[in-house]
């Protein structure tokens, strides 16, 4: 039996019709100095990459220890894209591919979610608005779509997105204030 295609309300959308400004850190939900229990998390791809590269601060690991972590097929897709673009001749590629593989295999299937057609359709609309408002060029448009899918998927599942991508998710929180994101700064 085929699933029903969702009906999108194209007119009922928030569109400020102006470029959004990046807000100050003090106005945004950042991880504090002490990890606290709270909402279940949906991890942005940068969380895995920062962890693998040793750029995640200890507070992020502490937070992941005390909160339920969930995964998105969006992150799996982005990690696998990374595997595809790595130069097979580079000496570090083999280790990186193995680490990414171990990361993906460690994701518990009952904690890994795929976005449905409702989320995908709404994310396409939202990312189109974001690209128009912020003047995103071609390179940033796919990233914006993936971020929108992750953001709306977290909303639908009742999760909070954990991310170091402050600028893009700040814009998403401005467009949809009922969404939830929790930010951290990675060590460079």
Instruction: Judge whether 125 and 151 are in contact, CB under 8 Å.
Output: no
pLDDT tens-digit series, residues 109-143? 999 999 999 999 999 999 998 898 888 888 788 89
Residue 188's pLDDT is what?
67
CA distance 62 to 173: 25
Residue 13's pLDDT is what?
52
Nearest Cα to 131, choosing from 179, 171, 77?
171
CA distance 150 to 161: 8
Residue 123's pLDDT is what?
94
Domain membership flag for residue 146: no
Domain membership flag for residue 55: yes
Residue 4's pLDDT is what?
59
Residue 12's pLDDT is what?
44
Domain membership flag for residue 133: no
Domain membership flag for residue 80: yes
Domain membership flag for residue 54: yes
Residue 3's pLDDT is what?
56
Domain membership flag for residue 74: yes
Name the residue range of residue 82's domain. 25-113+158-183
- State the total domains in the chain: 1
Domain membership flag for residue 15: no
Residue 62's pLDDT is what?
94
Low-confidence ranges of the chain (pLDDT < 50): 10-12
CA distance 11 to 183: 31
CATH number at residue 83: 3.40.50.1010
Domain membership flag for residue 121: no
């Amino acid at each position: 039996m085929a699933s029903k295609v969702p009906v999108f309300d194209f007119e009922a959308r928030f569109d400020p019709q102006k470029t959004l400004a990046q807000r100050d850190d003090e106005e945004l939900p950042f991880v504090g100095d002490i990890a606290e229990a709270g909402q279940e998390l949906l991890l942005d791809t940068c969380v895995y990459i920062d962890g693998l590269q040793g750029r995640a601060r200890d507070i992020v690991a502490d937070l992941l220890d005390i909160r339920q972590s969930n995964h998105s097929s969006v992150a799996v897709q982005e990690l696998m894209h990374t595997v595809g673009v790595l130069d097979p001749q580079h000496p570090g590629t083999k280790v990186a591919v193995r680490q990414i593989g171990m990361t993906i295999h460690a994701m518990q299937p009952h904690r890994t979610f795929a976005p449905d057609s409702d989320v995908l359709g709404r994310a396409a609309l939202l990312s189109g608005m974001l690209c128009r408002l912020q003047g995103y060029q071609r390179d940033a448009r796919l990233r914006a779509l993936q971020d929108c899918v992750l953001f709306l998927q977290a909303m639908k599942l009742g999760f909070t997105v954990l991310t170091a991508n402050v600028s893009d998710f700040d814009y998403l929180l401005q467009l949809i204030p009922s969404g939830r994101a929790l930010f951290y700064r990675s060590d460079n």
